[in-house]
A and B are shown apart, each in its own frame.
Chain A
Amino acid sequence: MNNKVMGVRRCTWVYLVLMFFSFITYFVGRLELSGLTISLFVLLLALIKGQLVGAYFMGLGRLRGLWRWPVFIWLFIPGTLISIAFYLSA
């Protein structure tokens, strides 16, 4: 099996994980679950989804050097700020 077929197969699995995490997020909202722990859990799912998109769909995960990190850093900064804001308002 060549690398390109492997890459597509991996992206198909990532796609399924993204869909699954989205349904979990939706059901958390539908059940009207609230509170700091729930909010941070939902945010964590979103950050993992973002990292999966960056690493596999955008293809940054296979890079070496600086370009491997911009999406991770982008997720980390607003993720941290949102967490702090929700923590302070809890």
Chain B
Amino acid sequence: MQEQVIDTSDVLHDRHPPGDLAIWIFILAELSVFAVFFAAYAFTRMNNVELFNEFQQHLDRQSALLNTLTLITSSYFVVRAVAAIKENNHKLCVNWLLAAISMGFLFVVIKSAEYAHHFGEGINLSTNTFYMFYLSLTFFHFMHVIMGMVILGAVAIKAKNGGYSDIEHTGVETGASYWHMVDLVWLILFPLVYVMR
């Protein structure tokens, strides 16, 4: 008798988020921390509007745009990686993941250049309230980008070794969800810190 294989992943996704439930608890905790940071930035700005507006002008918006585009593009690549593994195409999945990691690496390079420029000018956490928020917020996010790259790297290695299939690809979705969270946070951080005045 011919055995019929049914892809249950989409059915399961009707009520449960993609990936491991534990990563979603982690994502919600991380998002909550960033929400507090964003609110703290906005309410501190209330009493220091001129200071925030003045020093915001010193930031490199072009780098921030490039960073936004790299993160959005890497997120899209991760979407393609998940779609590839759902088609049982391991090689394509690995390629999309590597492309996403490369974009993450580009983000790290651009952001590091920005930090080098600021530190070269003698700017640090105690320069003023604006830079305290700018450096701590962006560096906290920067660390999440690095962690996301490590996670995607681990997923890519397992995918290369045939550890995922069209039936079982929870790990790929787990890594993807974390990476999208990193992108999501930057989408708010970019206008808030670099543009809104």
Contacts and interface: CB of A to CB of B under 8 A. Distances in A.
Contacts, number: 145
A63 B13 contact: yes
Interface size class on chain B is: 35 or more
Contact of A57 (B86, B183, B197): B183
Contacts of B38: 78, 81-82
14 contacts: A15-B76, A25-B195, A43-B191, A50-B187, A53-B187, A57-B78, A58-B17, A58-B176, A58-B177, A67-B17, A81-B39, A81-B42, A88-B46, A89-B46
Given A38-B196, A58-B184, A85-B43, 11 more contacts: A8-B83, A19-B72, A22-B65, A26-B64, A29-B61, A34-B53, A43-B192, A46-B191, A59-B173, A71-B31, A77-B35
Interface string B30-49: 01101100110011011001
B108 interface: no
B61 A59 contact: no
Given A34-B53, A78-B188, A85-B45, A26 B65 contact: yes
Nearest to B53: A34
Contact of A30 (B18, B46, B61): B61
Most buried by A among B53, B78, B183: B183
Interface in B11-38: 13-18, 24, 28, 31-32, 34-35, 38
Interface of A: 3-4, 7-8, 11-12, 15, 18-19, 22-23, 25-26, 28-30, 32, 34, 38-39, 42-43, 45-47, 49-50, 53-54, 56-60, 62-65, 67, 70-71, 74-75, 77-79, 81-82, 84-86, 88-89
Given A53-B180, A53-B184, A57-B180, A89 B45 contact: yes
